[in-house]
Structure 1
Amino acid sequence: MGLTSNNTLVVAVLAAMVLFAGTVWLWPRLARRGWRSVSGRVGLLLAVQLSLFASVGLLVNHSFGFYASWADLFGRETDQGVVVDHTSGDRSAAPLRVTEIGSVPGRVGFRPSSVGQVQQVDIVGRSTHIASPAYVYLPPEYFQERYRGRSFPAAVVLTGYPGTARALVDKLHYPRTAQELVEDGRMRPMILVMLRPTVAPPRDTECVDIPGGPQTESFFAEDLPRAVAEHYRVAKGPRSWGIIGDSTGAYCALKLAMHHPGVYAAGAGLSPYYKAPTDPTTGDLFQGVKALRDRANLWWCIEHLPAPATSLLVTSSKEGESNYKDTLKFIARVKAKGTTQISSIILESGGHNFNTWRREIPATLEWISGRLSDR
């Protein structure tokens, strides 16, 4: 049974209930003195505690989508690393391949022209050779006759680390929310490309071009938009693409919009941080190269680089978010430069979690839609 399977969660909860009931039943029999009775009591208590811990952990992972599989949980996921093309050099092969077609969760109906479509795809970067799975949401208008000749703006949507791309569909409800906003007249139809920033798992590359390693920033700035535009009717204009992310994905979204304003006309960071960390999950991202470290530091970029002609949105909460003071400081520094447009969503309270981001996503989608063009 898979890590995110409902059956796994049910078995874990039932096991915890049986162990608890068994402990209550057997406790009087183990109340005697002696090493056997003491060992039995200790063993039952440990078993109950472990089963409860496992049940809660599985429930939290099921709700928030931190890990997609047992291999992902234990750091053994290696099948989606950096792909090196050893073929004869044929560059004509499509960089995007659709592997599965499904409906939009929460929407009733079967026709794509009525409820849209979510396609699971595999993307391979032609220049970086990075491979990553993703989900592409196509709005109902994409399949309607009156829009047959129309192109659509697109937005990349990134999870946090480690995160799962499917959580953007099932837990954060990006496709369903986008449809509801279009129906309410609050945003225009838009293609969403949803994936993890972790394109070389289990390593957290922080959307950095790592010397001698994965060229993650180039994948998101060059390969991904090109692959999607070749396969779908994405608008070709200079303001056709935006990018959204939460947590690690939020840092990536802001950085990519600031570094590549010619690609991303708008970047929204939900609960972002502003400087790439260095820890066991990232390894040495910069290989001692100060210029690379500086460029990955958004504070340094604001102070030392020309203000990019892009629009940024940042979110935080007065209570519950550790980035609140940094976010206010970031807004002030961007405003002081004058060229970059900066907006914010500041909640009274909200933690670093899915519930908070679900409260921010409708306004974020409406904001980014207003800054993109379908021409």
Structure 2
Amino acid sequence: MAPDSLAAALTATAGAVLAAVLLSATWDHGAGTRRAALRTVTTALCLATALAAAGIWINRQVDTVTTWSALLGRDTSTAATADPAPAGATGGRIVTFTATGTASGLTLAVHAYLPAAYDRQPTARFPVIEALHGYPGSPASWLNRLAAAHHLDQEIVAGRMAPTVVLFPPQTPHALLDTECTNLAHGPQAETFLTVDVPTAAETHLRVRTDRAGWGLIGYSAGGYCAANLALRHPERYATAASLSGYADPGITIGDGTEHTLNDDAWRLRHLPNPAVALYLSAGRADRKAHRDADTLTHLARPPLCVTTVYVDGGGHSMSVWEAAEDPAFDWLSGWLGRPVG
């Protein structure tokens, strides 16, 4: 029973209800000091179970903590692989490998979606998209709340997207530390992990393309900022990126002042040559900052940078908006990426 499961949420809710019943039933029991002690204990139990239930329900929405080991701060980066898809299957499969942080110092588990064609074409190398999650959140948000594997299967089978390997790496080694996929001055080197160690590990463990024409990025919320920012900063690695409700700046203190310069996408487009990458910027019209920042980046863009903007009517900053946007975003990315090669 994982901490983001429905069973855990229902169990915690039942515990909170029982604690409330216990508080009511024992409120007038005993007398004097005994009564006061009993009321204190049952009130504390009631509050604790209510907070636990609320926390588990919130965690279920954002998938920040997916295992009890992670909740306790233990390393959960051990690798595991899934069984191959059965012959003739139209759906892909999820595998997990470990990205050893030779460059960044971070060693973390990375989930990967392998399309059905990966098993049918044993000599082919496939294009790659790195999918980055929001904060708070985890790679599980893509696989659970956004049902990425289902959407990828659907788009590939329909022919709207080429068979593509999609990676779901963590953007932070600690669930409560927001890196915005940057190299923090006195913290994790998330940018290096995502742009050097993850591609190196993928090219080692999987049959993927190694040229920039075969690599792209996508992300939602904080991950949307990550996708656009990493593409602008590393055009030698990525040809394209899609930002779903991302912002133009990290919104955190990096520690070296680059949150106002090199890691501010609007600053980069104003002061530095625009790189030859293609950006897809999507946001809900009610998501004011994401909408405003997408407009700003679009107006600042100059060739050879190419920017496409797509807005969702009435949508705010929510999972429902990102799920509605992921199919066209994946299709658009596939149109800019190279195809599988023999």
| TM-score, length of structure 2 as denominator length | 0.86
- The within-5 A match list for 1:116-155 is 116-144=92-120, 147-155=121-129
User: What is the match of residue 223 of structure 1?
Assistant: 197
CA distance in 2 between partners of 1:112 and 1:55 (Å): 43
CA distance in 2 between partners of 1:258 and 1:112 (Å): 40
Identity of aligned residues (%): 24
User: What is the match of residue 12 of structure 1?
Assistant: 12
User: What is the match of residue 258 of structure 1?
Assistant: 232
User: What is the match of residue 91 of structure 1?
Assistant: none
SS at match of 1:269: strand
CA distance in 2 between partners of 1:292 and 1:60 (Å): 29
- Kindly provide the amino acid, as one letter, of the partner of residue 80 in structure 2: T
Note closer, same or farther for the CA distance 1:254–1:235 as it changes in structure 2 (3 Å cut).
same
Question: Is the contact made by 1:317 and 1:349 (CA closer than 8 Å) also made in structure 2?
Answer: yes
User: What is the match of residue 262 of structure 2?
Assistant: 295
Deviates further, 178-187 or 227-236: 227-236
CA distance in 2 between partners of 1:200 and 1:24 (Å): 39
CA distance in 1 between partners of 2:304 and 2:295 (Å): 18
Question: Are residues 1:319 and 2:282 paired?
Answer: no
Which of 318, 330, 333 is residue 300 of structure 2 equivalent to? 333
Question: Are residues 1:61 and 2:59 paired?
Answer: yes
Question: Is the contact made by 2:217 and 2:238 (CA closer than 8 Å) also made in structure 1?
Answer: yes
RMSD: 3.1
Note closer, same or farther for the CA distance 1:244–1:43 as it changes in structure 2 (3 Å cut).
same
User: What is the match of residue 245 of structure 2?
Assistant: 271
CA distance in 1 between partners of 2:65 and 2:270 (Å): 37
Question: Are residues 1:99 and 2:80 paired?
Answer: yes
Question: Is the contact made by 1:158 and 1:197 (CA closer than 8 Å) also made in structure 2?
Answer: yes
CA distance in 2 between partners of 1:356 and 1:255 (Å): 21
Structure 1 gap segments, 5+ residues each: 82-96, 104-108, 280-284
User: What is the match of residue 77 of structure 1?
Assistant: 73
CA distance in 1 between partners of 2:61 and 2:81 (Å): 23
Question: Is the contact made by 2:276 and 2:303 (CA closer than 8 Å) also made in structure 1?
Answer: no
Question: Is the contact made by 2:266 and 2:296 (CA closer than 8 Å) also made in structure 1?
Answer: no
CA distance in 1 between partners of 2:265 and 2:234 (Å): 13
- The within-5 A match list for 1:243-254 is 243-254=217-228
Question: Is the contact made by 1:182 and 1:188 (CA closer than 8 Å) also made in structure 2?
Answer: yes
CA distance in 2 between partners of 1:200 and 1:7 (Å): 25
Note closer, same or farther for the CA distance 1:130–1:23 as it changes in structure 2 (3 Å cut).
closer
Output one character per residue of 1:266-315: Cα deviation in whole Å (capped at 9) or x when no partner: 11111112212335xxxxx234xx46751111111011110110011122
Output one character per residue of 1:104-158: Cα deviation in whole Å (capped at 9) or x when no partner: xxxxx745854322111111133333211110111001111xx233221110011
Question: Are residues 1:360 and 2:298 paired?
Answer: no
User: What is the match of residue 138 of structure 2?
Assistant: 164
User: What is the match of residue 89 of structure 1?
Assistant: none
Deviation at 1:178, TM superposition (A): 0.5
Output one character per residue of 1:29-72: Cα deviation in whole Å (capped at 9) or x when no partner: 68xx9998798778766655553443233122123212234565
Structure 2 gap segments, 5+ residues each: none
- Kindly provide the amino acid, as one letter, of the partner of residue 296 in structure 1: N
- Kindly provide the amino acid, as one letter, of the partner of residue 292 in structure 2: K
Question: Is the contact made by 2:172 and 2:188 (CA closer than 8 Å) also made in structure 1?
Answer: no
| TM-score, length of structure 1 as denominator length | 0.79
Note closer, same or farther for the CA distance 1:163–1:47 as it changes in structure 2 (3 Å cut).
same
SS at match of 1:229: helix
Deviation at 1:211, TM superposition (A): 4.2
CA distance in 1 between partners of 2:47 and 2:174 (Å): 35
CA distance in 1 between partners of 2:35 and 2:15 (Å): 22
SS at match of 1:121: strand
Question: Are residues 1:187 and 2:187 paired?
Answer: no
CA distance in 2 between partners of 1:293 and 1:301 (Å): 10
Question: Is the contact made by 2:245 and 2:290 (CA closer than 8 Å) also made in structure 1?
Answer: yes
CA distance in 2 between partners of 1:123 and 1:316 (Å): 31
Note closer, same or farther for the CA distance 1:286–1:174 as it changes in structure 2 (3 Å cut).
same
Deviates further, 219-228 or 176-185: 219-228
